[in-house]
Amino acid sequence: MNHFLDIHTTAPSDLRAMIDKAAEMKAARDGLPKGTPDAEQPLANHMVALIFEKPSTRTRVSFDVGVRQMGGQTMVLSGADMQLGHGETIADTARVLSRYVDMIMIRTFEEQTLMEMAEYASVPVINGLTDRTHPCQIMADILTFEEHRGPIKGKKVVWSGDGNNVFASFAHAAGQFGFNLTFTGPPTLDPSARVLDEARAVGAEITIERDPFKAVEGADLVVTDTWVSMHDPQSARERRHNQLRPYQVNENLMAMARPDALFMHCLPAHRDDEATSAVMDGPHSVVFDEAENRLHAQKAVMRWCLGV
C-alpha cells in the first residue's frame, strides 16, 4: 500500500521518481488546451475521494483537475458532509470509503486523523495538509525549483518566518533531496523539536539563524508563508505581526541572496505582510509557477500511490 503521508517517511528514490514523472507529464501537456485529457489515462475507471475538513483553493482545484485529466472521477466531501470522528469513528469511515473509492486525499487539522485514516483504509491515502505537515506543497516546490535552476541537491534554501507545517515538510525534504536549509525567525515561532529530529534523522542539515540578512546571504531559494492562519483570533494575529515583521521578505532582504535566487510562497499571500508586492511580482518570484505545479506534482503522487 503506497500511502503518501509525509516526505521523511517516503523513500528518496520514490520521491525522485515522482518529481521526474511530474516534469514528464507537464512537458507532455505543453501547448495543449487546459481541459484536454492526458494522452495516458492512468486513472480511467478510478474514483478518488477528496476530503476537506479545511477549506482550500489550490489543493481542491489541483487534485480535482489532476484526477480528471488522468481519466478518473472525484467525489469532493467537506467536513459538513461527513461525520468524520464525530458521529462515526475515523477508522469506520476509512473502512467504508475504501469499499467505494480507489484512493483518498484528506486535508484536515489533526495529524492523528490522517494517520488513523491511513491505518484503517484499504486504499492509498494522501496527505493534502495537516496542521503539522504539507508534503504535496513541497513536492511542487522542488519541481518548480528544478525546472528553473536544475537539481536542488547541494543548494541553499532559506525559510523566513514561522516554523509552521509547510516549513516542517521543507525540513523533511532537505535530507531526502540533499539541500541545505536555514530557518530564520523569532524563537517563539521556531519549528518543533520533533520536526527537526525527524529531518536530521534522514540526513537534513538545518541551521537556525536569527538575523534574516545573514541567513539569506548566498541563498539559492528564499521561501516564506502567511504569518497568520484563518483560524487565529485578532489578538494572536497582532502578536504574530509584531514578532515576524523583521522577517518580511522585501527587496533589501532578497538583495542578500544570490543574483539568480528564486522566491517562493505557497499562497494565499497577505501582500506587504510576509512579502512585499515588489518581491511577489519581481524577477525572483516563481509563485504562480509554484501554484501550477501543485497540479503536476500531485498527479505524479497519485500515480505512484496507485502504481499506474
Q: Is 303 a catalytic residue?
A: no
H-type alpha helices, 155-233: 165-177, 193-201, 212-216
First to last CA, the chain: 13
β-pairing, 180-184 with 205-208? Answer: parallel
Grid coordinates representing 27 are 512537458
Please tell me which residue in 137, 176, 248, 298 is annotated as part of the active site. Answer: 137
Q: Is 29 a catalytic residue?
A: no
Q: Is 107 a catalytic residue?
A: yes
Report the C-alpha gap between 33 and 38 in whole angstroms. 11
Is there a cis peptide before residue 42, judged by omega within 30 degrees of 0?
no
Please tell me which residue in 107, 172, 240, 303 is annotated as part of the active site. Answer: 107
Please tell me which residue in 46, 172, 265, 294 is annotated as part of the active site. Answer: 294
Residues 102, 297, 65: CA angle, nearest 5 degrees: 60
Q: Is 265 a catalytic residue?
A: no
Q: Is 112 a catalytic residue?
A: no
Please tell me which residue in 8, 225, 296, 298 is annotated as part of the active site. Answer: 225
β-pairing, 47-52 with 73-78? Answer: parallel
Q: Is there a contact between 17 and 11 (Cβ–Cβ < 8 Å)? A: no
Q: Is 190 a catalytic residue?
A: no
Please tell me which residue in 266, 273, 296, 298 is annotated as part of the active site. Answer: 266
Please tell me which residue in 46, 134, 284, 296 is annotated as part of the active site. Answer: 134
Q: Which residues are catalytic?
A: 107, 134, 137, 225, 266, 294
